[in-house]
Amino acid sequence: MTGSPKPIVLLLGEVLHATKEWDELAGIAELRQLNHGNRKQFLKNCHSGVYRGLLAISRTYDSVELTGRFDQELIDLLPQTLKFISHNGAGYDQIDAEACANRGISVSNTPGAADASTANTAIFLLLGALRRAHVPATALREGRWRGSMGLGHDPDGKTLGILGMGGIGSAFALRAATFGFDIQYHNRNPVVHSSSNPTKARYVSFEELLRTSDVISIHLPLNDATRGLIGRKEFRKMKDGVVIVNTARGKIIDEEALVEALERDKLFAAGLDVFDKEPEIHPGLIKSDKVVLMPHVGTSTVETQRKMELLVIDNVRNALQRGSLLTPVVESRKSRM
């Protein structure tokens, strides 16, 4: 007699830092991989039954190049046997998690694993923006010493407004406090547990945060409520000379409005790791000497990438062995209630 066939797991993209742990899953699952192709081919394969019998998908952030967004069109073509998607990333806007929940597919992300690295990147961008560090750094490499560098600003005593006091926001607050900031924050609701607000930052309304902050740092997920949250109206409410930092998602800020605010000196500077149409960058941001730019590398450290991959693998293993994900996203948690 032959045993029951192993459940099938499809890896979209590459595992680079936890290969041993991924390979060990072969003891309990049939592992398949897709690391080339495009959305058209993926949809065709789904439609023709190439992935028939699939139980779980493990996907990387960059695998969106292979499949496109997991939207309603794609989700409708996934095999009925698929029950789990383990996503590598804290943000999961590449997946329509609500549509997945309606299909009975649970989705997980990697909360916590990316907190420190992303918070460190935000601090780097914050300090760089306060000094407009791009100007002297570029001049130095071009043999012009400091170039046309002006004076920057110290963080001490400045009011820092944090939009989103989740894991990354609270990790950022903890680091920012050491620089002497007076910290306030806005969430949909005030945080209840002290561990989520280690600096005892005060809760303020969205309007008050915009109006009173010297620096605003964005740590929100991208969803229908936050898309375009910061636009022309919001910039007009801010202090003159405000500094903006964004390591969350580019689409939270209206980039046209951001460029306009920089050009008319409403903003002193900005530090950006994310953009509206990545990998395209708005020309106004490229040419501005007030912006510190990084190409969405907030989690690009060996240690963080390994932590994220391990959590993705742990989610897959738990799905295979216990029928549930360790870190389901909120839409998946709601569907089980």
From the candidates 207, 256, 278, 303, which is the catalytic residue?
Answer: 278
| 278 flagged as catalytic | yes
pLDDT-derived band at 288 (thresholds 50, 70, 90) equals very high
Q: How confident is the model at residue 90 (pLDDT cuts 50, 70, 90)?
A: very high
Residue 255 annotated as catalytic: no
SS3 letters for 120-154? Answer: HHHHHHHHHHHHCCHHHHHHHHCCCCCCCCCCCCC
Tens digit of pLDDT for each residue in 29-39? 999 999 999 99
pTM of the model: 0.91
* Predicted confidence (pLDDT) per residue in 135-162, tens digit: 999 999 999 999 999 999 999 999 999 9
Cβ atoms of 296 and 74 within 8 Å: the answer is no
Determine whether 234 is an active site residue.
Answer: no
d(CA 157, CA 168): 22
Q: Tell me what the mean pLDDT of segment 124-139 comes to.
A: 96
Given the residues 87, 186, 249, 317, the one annotated as active site: 249
- Residue 3: predicted pLDDT: 57
